[in-house]
């Protein structure tokens, strides 16, 4: 399994800047063939970013599971397929701000995979769920309802554990310790075996939540971590590139 680093630009970068930053990242990493690098810009920038890169791959930040229809403002799975090879699904910002349910996220995951797009399935507990000691329960539920029936022998999928309280840029956010991440990922691994059977061992797990060049080494060194989903620290090419180098060094690829 190749290590994987994903940039989640959220809605922070405009079209021309997106193409320029993607090219800067791609140029700096043209020899980085041992790992997968994915940039997820806003929808309108997807074709521009795709045209600007060679070694870097492109991901969307969302999709609608239907192929077409009268849903003003949505972007269908068929359109996303034309310009992206990965898609971030189940992100906590969408669960919280757009009331995305586990069922709807499940539909998106299945549809993405059926259309040849690799889902990056995000899950993680909120600060209050953590304070109430519900972390393991919440995570097991999200994995179960978001991924039930997913055929890991036929389709690729990536999981991204993102504790909501550790995502940067939010009031009161904290940085998770490697020990804490590692403890939760042991629960995730067990649940993955329940859901995917022997296919679980071929599924990459990313960590997301305030990852940056300063803490990347410790996080990438964790046994169950194949890479990261990076928000804030991916907005500057230099810090994202530094994290790619970190990942290459730690995983020795």
Binding site for ligand PGA (CB under 6 A): 8, 162, 167-169, 208-211, 229-233
User: Residue 85 or residue 168: which is nearer to ligand PGA going by CB?
Assistant: 168
Least Å distance between CB 69 and ligand PGA? Answer: 28
Going by C-beta distance under 8 Å and a sequence separation of 6 or more, which residues neighbour residue 234?
7, 8, 9, 39, 240, 243
**Active-site residues: which are they?**
91, 162
**Shortest Å distance, C-beta 194 to ligand PGA:** 25
Residue nearest to ligand PGA (CB): 231
Question: What CA–CA distance (Å, rounded) separates 70 from 58?
Answer: 26
Residue with tokens 């649940």: 191
CB of 235 to ligand PGA, least distance (A): 9
Instruction: Report in angstroms how near the CB of residue 228 gets to ligand PGA at its nearest.
Output: 8
Q: Select 78 or 170, whichever has its Cβ closest to ligand PGA.
A: 170
End-to-end, the C-alpha distance of the chain in Å comes to: 11
Nearer to ligand PGA, 124 or 153 (CB): 124
Closer to ligand PGA by CB, 46 or 190: give it.
46
């Amino acid at each position: 399994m190749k290590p994987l680093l994903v940039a989640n630009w959220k809605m922070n970068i405009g079209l021309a800047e997106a193409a320029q930053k993607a090219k800067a990242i791609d140029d700096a990493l043209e020899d980085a063939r041992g790992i997968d690098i994915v940039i997820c810009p806003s929808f309108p920038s997807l074709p521009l970013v795709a045209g600007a890169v060679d070694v870097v791959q492109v991901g969307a930040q969302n999709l609608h599971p239907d192929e077409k229809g009268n849903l003003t403002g949505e972007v269908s799975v068929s359109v996303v397929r034309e310009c992206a090879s990965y898609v971030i699904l189940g992100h906590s910002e969408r669960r919280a701000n757009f009331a995305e349910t586990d069922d709807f996220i499940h539909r998106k995951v299945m549809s993405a995979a059926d259309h040849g797009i690799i889902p990056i399935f995000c899950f993680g507990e909120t600060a209050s769920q953590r304070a109430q000691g519900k972390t393991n329960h919440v995570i097991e539920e999200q994995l179960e309802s978001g991924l039930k029936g997913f055929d890991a022998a036929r389709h690729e999928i990536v999981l991204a554990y993102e504790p909501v309280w550790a995502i940067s840029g939010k009031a009161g956010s904290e940085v998770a310790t490697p020990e804490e991440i590692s403890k939760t990922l042991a629960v995730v691994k067990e649940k993955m075996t329940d859901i995917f059977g022997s296919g679980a061992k071929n599924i990459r797990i990313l960590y997301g939540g305030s990852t940056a060049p300063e803490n990347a080494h410790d996080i990438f060194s964790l046994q169950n971590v194949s890479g990261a989903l990076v928000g804030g620290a991916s907005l500057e090419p230099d810090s994202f590139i530094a994290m790619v180098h970190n990942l290459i060094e730690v995983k020795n690829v």
